[in-house]
Amino acid sequence: NRSWAEPYKIKMVEPLKMTTESERQAAIVEAGYNTFLLPSEDVYIDLLTDSGCGAMSDRQWAGMMAGDEAYAGSANFYKMRDAVEEYYSYKYTVPTHQGRGAENILSQILIADGNYVPGNMYFTTTRLHQELAGATFVDVIVDEAHDPASDYPFKGNVDIAKLEALAKEVGADKIPYVCIATCVNMAGGQPISMANLKEVRAWCDANNVLLVHDMTRVAENAFFIQQREDGYRDKSIREIVYELCDLTDAATMSSKKDALVNIGGFLAMNDDSIYEKACNLVVVYEGLHTYGGMAGRDMEALAIGITESVQDDHISARVGQVEYLGNKLKMMGVPIVNPIGGHAVFLDARAILPHIPQDQFPAQALAAALYVDAGVRVMERGAVSAGRSKETGENFMPKLELVRLTLPRRVYTQAHMDVVAESVERVMKQASEIKGLKFTYEPEYLRFFRGKFEPV
Ligand code: F0G
């Protein structure tokens, strides 16, 4: 059993401010018990998200100097477009400022009022854009995905029977597309298998429905396929990523994750009429169709980031670090979502705080307590994130009430992971002292970002 280490070395460092527990206690009260409202200066280890906070390589930084900041037809756009086609298969690329910009445009193009969009669980911004465009989201993920204890290796899979039942109930003509995420974020960073994606493809073909891919974490999904699925052990991450993308018709991408840049995204597709419509809308919401809200230098860094993101060494170290933290927590007896995900370890807040009912937001309370203990910032992924039903206005009460410890790519060391695990263990020992929370301010959209709370 050989040790692994990162396939890079550190060339530049960013010093961190150390705080005391009483400073952190004051900071969390000021932030209304919402870790999104903490100034990052007051955070020691930031595991809030893996979005836009990864470390770029020296190659990417060098690329930043080669930015062609022309309004139209930037050389960096063509390089990025070519990288998308070469690595991700899609013929047309429309840049956007980030993933949700692409989701907005795609939802407006494909969705008509009264439509239904099935997906393998939801993502917050994705579902909201579908709803704003007039659709109802329907979860068609396998049941195992809702059970944090299940060891099922492909919890991102679609239950074809659920898809079939929806089509029977509302008619396939009311389903403009099936929305598939690779490495499903809200399920705990869980992959979809290639075999299942092929089945979904066949279902879409048989029912004349498009297949749209949220490819935000496609390389991490490819890694799990390589490790777990028959026939893929000897395929490269690059080959598996291409094959996944090639099974789908269009994609939305938040390149702030897998693709190793601090900002950016795109919409990609093979159909020229969808491309034409996307170009029409991107100029309204984002920018010209050859920059879509991105600087030339950012498109250059993205083109390079795409090539780095599909390297086998990179992705096995990346997911390996998540596994290291997850296994350490498991050994300490911390209840986490199984199997360990690709981008994050998810704590089961219900199991850690059984005395707090779900309508007092146990995961939100646990995230706040973790910050106070050691300055580790994490995020809630439970009832606060799930929001309210569009129809009834009632709070959704999702089966998964989780706290996400999300690892930025190429940023923290193994020693940081040890500090995090010890902090979780300490907080768990004092769990009975943690109190539930209630809203003091609830924003209308995506309330988890800016909501404020106080203890009940
Ligand atoms: N799809 C998935 C699966 C995501 O995880 C995200 C962002 C988006 C779409 C939206 O992309 O942020 O670039 O507009 N997830 C971040 C997170 C915010 O922390 O999980 P965006």
Tell me how far apart the alpha carbons of residues 34 and 437 are, in angstroms, rounded to a whole number: 10
Active-site choice (124, 216, 248, 252): 124
pLDDT digit string (tens) for 56-69?
Answer: 999 999 999 999 99
Q: pLDDT grade, residue 129 (50/70/90)?
A: very high
The reported pTM is 0.95
Q: Most distant CA pair in the chain: distance in Å?
A: 61
**Cis peptide leading into 354, omega within 30 of 0?**
no
Q: pLDDT grade, residue 135 (50/70/90)?
A: very high
* pLDDT for the residue numbered 83: 98
Residue 1 reports pLDDT greater than 80: no
Tell me how far apart the alpha carbons of residues 97 and 99 are, in angstroms, rounded to a whole number: 7
Active-site choice (214, 258, 298, 348): 214
pLDDT digit string (tens) for 402-418?
Answer: 999 999 999 999 999 99
Residue 341 reports pLDDT greater than 90: yes
Q: pLDDT grade, residue 336 (50/70/90)?
A: very high
pLDDT digit string (tens) for 237-253?
Answer: 999 999 999 999 999 99
Tell me how far apart the alpha carbons of residues 376 and 254 are, in angstroms, rounded to a whole number: 24
What residues contact 295, with CB distance under 8 A and at least 6 apart? 67, 69
Tell me how far apart the alpha carbons of residues 448 and 27 are, in angstroms, rounded to a whole number: 18
Tell me how far apart the alpha carbons of residues 279 and 95 are, in angstroms, rounded to a whole number: 10
Whether 47 contacts 407, CB under 8 Å: yes
Tell me how far apart the alpha carbons of residues 33 and 438 are, in angstroms, rounded to a whole number: 10
Pocket test for ligand 1, best of 36, 257, 263 (most atoms within 8 A of CB): 257
Q: CATH fold of 58-309, please?
A: Aspartate Aminotransferase; domain 2 (3.40.640)
- Could you tell me where the DSSP H helices lie in 52-188? 58-64, 75-88, 99-110, 124-132, 160-170
User: How large is the average pLDDT for residues 70-93?
Assistant: 98
Residue 273 reports pLDDT greater than 80: yes
CB atoms under 10 Å from CB of 29, counted, come to: 13
What number of CA atoms fall less than 13 Å from residue 300's CA on the CB side? 19
| Closest ligand 1 atom number to CA of residue 125 | 10
User: How large is the average pLDDT for residues 296-315?
Assistant: 98
Distance in Å, CA 102 to ligand 1 centroid? 11
Tell me how far apart the alpha carbons of residues 146 and 337 are, in angstroms, rounded to a whole number: 10
| Closest ligand 1 atom number to CA of residue 185 | 3
| 126 catalytically annotated | no
**Token pair of 305, please?**
């980031």
Sign of the CA dihedral running 379, 349, 326, 218: negative
* pLDDT for the residue numbered 6: 92
* pLDDT for the residue numbered 160: 98
Reference 404, options 51, 5, 16; nearest CA is: 51
Tell me the CA distances in angstroms from 230 to 193, 235, 263, 323, 436, one per residue in order. Answer: 10, 11, 35, 21, 45
Reference 21, options 432, 430, 439, 455; nearest CA is: 430
Q: CATH fold of 21-50+312-455, please?
A: Aspartate Aminotransferase, domain 1 (3.90.1150)
**Token pair of 113, please?**
């009022």
E-assigned strand segments in 262-334: 265-269
User: How large is the average pLDDT for residues 387-398?
Assistant: 90
**Token pair of 80, please?**
């990025």
Ligand 1 atom 12: residue of nearest CA: 99
Tell me how far apart the alpha carbons of residues 141 and 346 are, in angstroms, rounded to a whole number: 18
Tell me how far apart the alpha carbons of residues 147 and 142 are, in angstroms, rounded to a whole number: 10
Q: pLDDT grade, residue 391 (50/70/90)?
A: confident
Reference 334, options 426, 397, 268, 413; nearest CA is: 426
CB atoms under 10 Å from CB of 355, counted, come to: 12
Terminal C-alpha separation, the chain: 49
User: How large is the average pLDDT for residues 318-344?
Assistant: 97
| 448 catalytically annotated | yes
* pLDDT for the residue numbered 162: 98
**Token pair of 225, please?**
């396929």
% pLDDT > 70, the chain: 100
What number of CA atoms fall less than 13 Å from residue 192's CA on the CB side? 36
| 392 catalytically annotated | no
ipTM value > 0.90: yes
| 404 catalytically annotated | no
Ligand 1 atom 18: residue of nearest CA: 51
Reference 321, options 45, 123, 38, 43; nearest CA is: 45
* Region for 253 from its dihedrals, namely left if φ exceeds 0, alpha if ψ lies in -120 to 50, beta otherwise: beta
Active-site choice (79, 127, 217, 257): 257
* pLDDT for the residue numbered 148: 87
| 228 catalytically annotated | no
Distance in Å, CA 99 to ligand 1 centroid? 6
Pocket test for ligand 1, best of 51, 221, 379, 445 (most atoms within 8 A of CB): 51
Sign of the CA dihedral running 175, 180, 184, 187: positive
List residues bridging with 116 in a β-sheet. Answer: 136
What number of CA atoms fall less than 13 Å from residue 314's CA on the CB side? 23
* Domain spans of the chain, in order of start: 21-50+312-455, 58-309
Tell me how far apart the alpha carbons of residues 233 and 203 are, in angstroms, rounded to a whole number: 27
| 71 catalytically annotated | yes
* pLDDT for the residue numbered 3: 78
Residue 389 reports pLDDT greater than 90: no
Which helix H or strand E contains 238, and what residues bound it? Answer: helix 237-246
